[in-house]
Structure 1
Amino acid sequence: MSKKGRKENKQEETTEAAPEAEAQEADFSDSNQSQNQNQNAAELPTAIEQIKIKEPVVGHLIGTKVAVREDFQNAQQFFDRSSFGEIFGAQQGVKETRIEFALDEALYLMERGKLVVFDGKKKLTFEQFVKLANKTETNFWTKYQVYRDIRTRGYITKTALKFGADYRLYPRGVKPGQDHAKWVLFCTNEYNSYTWTQFAAMNRVAHSTRKKLLVGIVDKEGEVTYYEIRWKKP
């Protein structure tokens, strides 16, 4: 066989072995959940609403976080019930104890009347907060619509920025620290598209973190559809 023939044959073999992407609409079902987990999952969508506080917690916008100091005890309930925020200074001997919420977490709590946010001395409205967040985080509003939908369904999600994804998503009824996240989640809207190179990069993120790849797509009505992406060889 000529050198050219061997090269063409090698290209054909490579093409035949190339992986294909298979997208399936995700239902997030988990047949391995225990009865106790299912019971907890049923409570999660209303967990924040069930927290009774006399007045909304007061937070202050600091960069890309909303920090709560004076109302720490009330704010800690959000962390204890549904893993909102991150606690700092809880160790013995530390004078200041605070909880910091990511922008999407803070906005979610604002929508539910559990948190008010100040930028300096100015109390922010929902629209003002979104405007500031859009300047701080790329694609914030699209990501927030996915975040809000996931939280409303009763799932806990945390940032996956260090992995190169938008969020890491935990099985329903599971909190961070109890088990690992099951999915890495990327957020987009119906007007955007991914190249195969981008898909491959997203798959590498999922593979390297040993998680499933999930894409949340927001339509023009604000509804979110989720697709779990799997790669297979033909």
Structure 2
Amino acid sequence: MPPTKLDPLNEPDFDMKAVEEKLPNVTGKLLENAIVVEKGFAGLVERSYGKETNNHLELSLVEALYLIEKDRLTLKKGRNTYTVESLLDYTNERDPRIREKYLVYRDLRSRGLVVKTGFKFGCDFRVYQRGVSVKRGPKAVGEHTKWIVFAVPEDYTCAFTELSRAVRLAHSIRARMLWAIVDNENDITYYEVVRMRP
């Protein structure tokens, strides 16, 4: 049975511009393995951006790219100030799928969804319903991860074992598994792959 092609993220219309206008303007530093914001980041934490650690906020690359595009983050390393394109170029060697990840992240955020990295889960993103405050520990039903997402280019190939692992991962955390396929025109199609028993 082929994977289901649909828009599993179909959500009612949402005015993301109003939300983005409330985001603070911050300045960050690009360190070797992190993007750090030291001041004025409380509004970002409230909207589930980054990870607050030792009186600063660590942003993922895709979060930084998104905030740069929205003119909410000025990112510096030494005398260099990064644009979306220059940061993509800088990080492409470390992560050849950074462009696809960013485009998918941007699409998910533009729908008003809460998006966190999925590194510790072995996926690209964990996605929560709109309005959920991400927290550790016990959660109510609606506070759990709703989707795990893999962002890949349209020419991506994988073994069935990789696909099976992804489905098992989603099933184990009671989430739905989505593959976000980014084509050459930067259009994104979401495929939900589910586990079925005969």
> C-alpha distance in 1, partners of 2:17/2:191?
21
What is aligned with 1:77? 43
C-alpha displacement of 1:217: 0.8
1:113 matched to 2:113? no
CA distance in 2: counterparts of 1:148 and 1:226, whole angstroms: 14
Residues in 2 aligned to 1:21 and 1:174: alpha-carbon distance in whole angstroms:
32
Higher RCO, 1 or 2 (CA under 8 Å, sep at least 6)?
1
Q: Provide the C-alpha distance between the structure 2 equivalents of 1:158 and 1:131, rounded to a whole number of angstroms.
A: 22
Give, as a single letter, the amino acid of the residue that structure 1 aligns with 2:165.
A
Shift in CA distance, 222/63, structure 1 to aligned 2, threshold 3 Å: same
Counterpart in the other structure of 2:148? 184
- Partner residue, 2:32: 63
CA-atom RMSD in angstroms: 2.1
CA distance change for structure 1 residues 45 and 161 in 2, over 3 Å: closer, same or farther? farther
TM-score by length of 1: 0.74
How many corresponding residue pairs?
A: 192
Matches within 5 A, 1:1-234: 22-29=3-10, 42-44=14-16, 46-51=18-23, 56-69=25-38, 72-73=39-40, 75-80=41-46, 82-89=47-54, 97-177=55-135, 179-234=143-198
Structure 1 or 2: larger helix share? 1
Q: Distance in 2 between matches of 1:45 and 1:217?
A: 25
Q: What CA distance in whole angstroms lies between the structure 2 residues aligned with 1:22 and 1:66? A: 37
Larger Rg: 1
Amino acid at match of 1:171: Q
Q: Distance in 1 between matches of 2:102 and 2:133?
A: 20
Letter in 1 for 2:22: Q
Runs (4 or more) in structure 1 with deviation over 6 Å come to none
Q: Name the amino acid aligned to 1:60.
A: K
Alignment-mate amino acid for residue 20 of structure 2? I
In 1, the alpha carbon distance for the partners of 2:94 and 2:78 equals: 17
Report the Cα distance in structure 2 between the residues aligned to 1:222 and 1:29, rounded to whole angstroms.
19
With over 3 angstroms needed to count, the CA separation of the structure-2 counterparts of 1:212 and 1:229, relative to structure 1, is: same
Letter in structure 2 aligned against 1:62: L
* 1:186 match: secondary structure: strand
Displacement after TM superposition at 1:144 (Å): 0.8
Which segment is superposed worse, 119-128 or 212-221? Answer: 119-128
- Give me the whole-angstrom Cα distance separating, in 2, the residues matched to 1:86 and 1:59: 14
The 2-side partners of 1:46 and 1:227 are apart by 29
CA distance in 1, matches of 2:28, 2:44: 13
Kept in 2, the 8 Å contact 1:24–1:229? The answer is no
Task: Flag structure 2 segments of 5+ consecutive residues without an equivalent.
Answer: none
Residues 231 and 197 (structure 1 numbering): CA distance in 2 closer, same or farther, change over 3 Å?
same
By how many angstroms is 1:204 displaced?
1.8
How far apart in 2 are the matches of 1:192 and 1:139? 10
Equivalent AA in structure 1 for residue 161 of structure 2: T
8 A Cα contact 1:167 1:186, kept in partner: yes
Contact preservation (8 Å) 2:30, 2:75:
yes
